[in-house]
Amino acid sequence: MKECEHRLKNFEAKAYIDDFSLITIVAKKSFSIVPSFGLLQTDGIVHSLTILKQENYNQRYIYKCKSPIQLKMGKDYWIKINGNQIPLKIGSIVRTDQFDSLFFDDGLLGAQYTPNSTVFRVWSPVAVEMQLRYKVFGESDFLEASMERTEKGVWHFTLQGDHHLTQYIYRAKVNHEWVEAADPYARSVTINGERSVVIDLRKTDPDQWQRSEKRMNLRSKIDSIIYELHIRDFTIHPESGVKHKGKYLGITEKNTKTSKGNITGLDYLTSLGITHVQLMPVADFGSVDETKPNTQYNWGYDPVHFFAPEGSYATEPNNPVCRIKELKTLIRTLQDNGLSVILDVVFNHVYKLEESSFEKLVPGYYFRYDDGGNPVNGTGVGNDTASERKMVRKFILDALLYWLNEYKVDGFRFDLMGIHDVETMNIAASKLKSLNPGIFLLGEGWDLNTNLDPEKRANLSSAKVLPDYSFFNDSFRDSVKGSIFTGGTAGFINGNQDLSIMDQILRSIKGYAGKNDKFLSAKQSINYTECHDNHTLYDLLKIRHPHENEMQRKKRQKLALAFTLFSRGVPFIHSGQEFYRTKHGVENSYNMPDRINAFNWHECEKYENDVKYFQELIKIRNEQPVFRDEAGSVNQLHELPEGILGVEIKHPLTDKKVKCSYWQKVLLLFNQSLKAAEIPIHQGSWKIAVENESSVVRNLDSNTYLINPLSFSLLFVKR
pLDDT at residue 293, as a whole number: 93
Residues 363, 173: Cα–Cα separation, whole Å: 12
Domain boundary (69, 90, 111) is at 90
pLDDT at residue 1, as a whole number: 36
pLDDT at residue 653, as a whole number: 67
Within-domain flag for 146: yes
* 154-160 and 644-650 beta bridge pairing: unpaired
pLDDT at residue 657, as a whole number: 58
The mean pLDDT of 228-245, rounded to a whole number, is 98
pLDDT at residue 145, as a whole number: 98
- Domain match, 75 and 16 both: yes
Q: How confident is the model at residue 654 (pLDDT cuts 50, 70, 90)?
A: low
Domain boundary (90, 111, 133) is at 90
DSSP 421: B
Residues 458, 472: Cα–Cα separation, whole Å: 13
Within-domain flag for 571: no
Contact between 357 and 292 under an 8 Å Cβ cutoff? The reply is no
Torsion angle (degrees, nearest 10) of CA 636, 637, 643, 644: -100
- CATH value at residue 653: 2.60.40.1180
pLDDT per residue as tens digits for the range 582-598 = 999 999 999 999 999 99
The mean pLDDT of 278-289, rounded to a whole number, is 98
Over pLDDT 90: what percentage of the chain? 88
The mean pLDDT of 670-681, rounded to a whole number, is 96
Whether 22 has a pLDDT exceeding 80, the answer reads yes
Whether 388 has a pLDDT exceeding 90, the answer reads yes
Within-domain flag for 201: no
Active site residue: 239, 326, 344, 444, which one? 444
Residues 419, 451: Cα–Cα separation, whole Å: 9
- CATH value at residue 46: 2.60.40.2320
Residues 271, 269: Cα–Cα separation, whole Å: 5
pLDDT at residue 618, as a whole number: 98
pLDDT at residue 32, as a whole number: 72
- Domain match, 77 and 103 both: no
Told to judge if 444 belongs to the known catalytic residues of this protein, a careful annotator would answer: yes
Report the candidate in 549, 719, 525, 530 with the shortest Cα–Cα distance to residue 630: 525
**How far is CA 227 from each of CA 104, 115, 566, 597, rounded to the nearest angstrom?**
39, 40, 16, 16
pLDDT per residue as tens digits for the range 396-408 = 999 999 999 999 9
Number of structural domains (the chain) is: 3
Contact between 389 and 397 under an 8 Å Cβ cutoff? The reply is no
Domain boundary (26, 55, 90) is at 90
- Supply the mean pLDDT for the chain: 95
Whether 331 has a pLDDT exceeding 80, the answer reads yes
Tell me which of 126-135, 175-184, 216-225, 440-449 is least confident: 216-225
pLDDT at residue 683, as a whole number: 78
> Greater confidence, 11 or 414?
414
Tell me which of 57-61, 228-232, 561-565 is least confident: 57-61
**Phi, psi of 131, rounded to the nearest 5 degrees:** -120, 145
Whether 162 has a pLDDT exceeding 50, the answer reads yes
Whether 214 has a pLDDT exceeding 90, the answer reads no
DSSP 285: E
Residues 119, 306: Cα–Cα separation, whole Å: 20
- Domain match, 80 and 106 both: no
AA letter at 489: T
Whether 7 has a pLDDT exceeding 60, the answer reads no
The mean pLDDT of 311-324, rounded to a whole number, is 98
Contact between 615 and 271 under an 8 Å Cβ cutoff? The reply is yes
pLDDT per residue as tens digits for the range 52-67 = 999 988 888 999 999 9
- CATH value at residue 136: 2.60.40.10
Residues 502, 433: Cα–Cα separation, whole Å: 37
Within-domain flag for 652: yes
- Domain match, 86 and 103 both: no
Residues 475, 519: Cα–Cα separation, whole Å: 12
Q: How confident is the model at residue 652 (pLDDT cuts 50, 70, 90)?
A: confident
Active site residue: 344, 384, 398, 415, which one? 415
pLDDT at residue 4, as a whole number: 36
Nearest 5°: the CA angle 457, 441, 432 is: 100
Other CB atoms within a 10 A radius of the CB of residue 321 amount to 18
pLDDT at residue 582, as a whole number: 98
Whether 183 has a pLDDT exceeding 50, the answer reads yes
Over pLDDT 70: what percentage of the chain? 97
- Domain match, 127 and 161 both: yes
Within-domain flag for 638: yes
Residues 125, 200: Cα–Cα separation, whole Å: 28
Within-domain flag for 473: no
Whether 655 has a pLDDT exceeding 90, the answer reads no
Report the candidate in 496, 638, 636, 473 with the shortest Cα–Cα distance to residue 559: 496
pLDDT at residue 2, as a whole number: 40
Whether 9 has a pLDDT exceeding 50, the answer reads no
Whether 634 has a pLDDT exceeding 70, the answer reads yes
Within-domain flag for 676: yes
pLDDT per residue as tens digits for the range 456-500 = 999 999 999 999 999 999 999 999 999 998 888 999 999 998 989
Rg (CA), the chain: 29
Is 548 in a helix, a strand, or coil? coil
Within-domain flag for 481: no
Q: How confident is the model at residue 561 (pLDDT cuts 50, 70, 90)?
A: very high
Tell me which of 473-482, 512-521, 552-561, 593-602 is least confident: 512-521
Contact between 316 and 309 under an 8 Å Cβ cutoff? The reply is no
Report the candidate in 307, 336, 326, 330 with the shortest Cα–Cα distance to residue 404: 307
pLDDT at residue 264, as a whole number: 99
Domain encompassing residue 153 = 99-181
pLDDT at residue 515, as a whole number: 86
pLDDT at residue 6, as a whole number: 34
